[in-house]
Amino acid sequence: MQLESANSVLGIIPARYASTRFPGKPLVDIYGKTMIQRVYEQSIQTSSLSKVVVATDDERIAEEVTNFGGSYIMTAKTHQSGTDRCAEVASQMPDYNVIINIQGDEPYINPTQIALLTSCFTDADVQLATLIKAIHTKEELFNVNIPKVVINAHQEAIYFSRQTIPYVRSTEQEHWLNTHQFYKHIGIYGYRKDILLAITQLQPSTLELAENLEQLRWLENGYKVKTKITELETIAIDTPEDLKKISK
């Protein structure tokens, strides 16, 4: 492997075969290419990443990555999250100090979103980063399957929740969008490598367990999460039914 500079950015695509809701999801065919190939090809289009690798625990996925000319690293099968899988890979690649965790179930992720997230790390004080998007519809605002985020004046996340936050007092819910700018979370993460290795040693926190949102573990332990606002939408494929979104 060619050595990269100490400030290089590594893009990691976690991909596991044994998904509860959609087994074999990375290998599903989407208009002639597997999902993992589409994510990989979108990811390498941005010059903000020095290298992109797939992190997988399954030989079938590794074989597919090899077939389309990509790079992969085998990881343990015991990881509970993509963050944990990224940490294992990052610990083996000392020449990268910024890690971008690219969701393996977003086959049409826009490369400019990856570049936007990576730009957060031009600030040496940024520990962790993610993207958010303005909410414009009541359907999104009150959908508990869409995590919401509140940010401070420095555009750092204060809290993430599946509930609608903040609560707008003395205003009917149908008018909330007219009185406050709400944001939803876009699930792509960036980490300083030392921070990534540290947060994966933390025990699940009470807030994380309550909301089932791992980023709350980081906030509860005092880490700061920088956010950048994107105008682009993402489509994640969590179930076979979600494939219908692609056709639309």
Three-state SS across the chain? CCCCCCCEEEEEEEECCCCCCCCCHHHCEECCEEHHHHHHHHHCCCCCCCEEEEEECCHHHHHHHHHCCCCEEECCCCCCCHHHHHHHHHHHCCCEEEEEECCCCCCCCCHHHHHHHHHHHHCCCCCEEEEEEECCCHHHHCCCCCCEEEECCCCEEEEEECCCCCCCCCCCHHHHHHHCCCEEEEEEEEEEHHHHHHHCCCCCCHHHHHHCCCHHHHHHCCCCEEEEECCCCCCCCCCHHHHHHHHC
∠ CA 119-122-123, nearest 5°, is: 120
**Paired tokens of 28:** 């599903």
Within-domain flag for 246: no
Within-domain flag for 248: no
Within-domain flag for 1: no
Within-domain flag for 245: no
135-162, pLDDT tens digit by residue?
999 999 999 999 999 999 999 999 999 9
Within-domain flag for 133: yes
Within-domain flag for 156: yes
7-48, pLDDT tens digit by residue?
599 999 999 987 767 788 999 999 999 999 999 999 999 999
pTM metric for this prediction: 0.93
Q: What is the mean pLDDT of the chain?
A: 93
Residue range(s) defining the domain that contains residue 91: 8-240
CA separation, residue 210 to residues 74, 161, 187, 213 (Å):
32, 10, 19, 8
What's the CATH code of the domain at 172? Answer: 3.90.550.10
Domains in the chain, number: 1
Within-domain flag for 168: yes
Residue 186 CB partners (closer than 8 Å, separation 6+): 113, 130, 131, 132, 133, 230, 234
Within-domain flag for 2: no
**Residues above pLDDT 70, as percent of the chain:** 95
Name the more confident of 1 and 95.
95
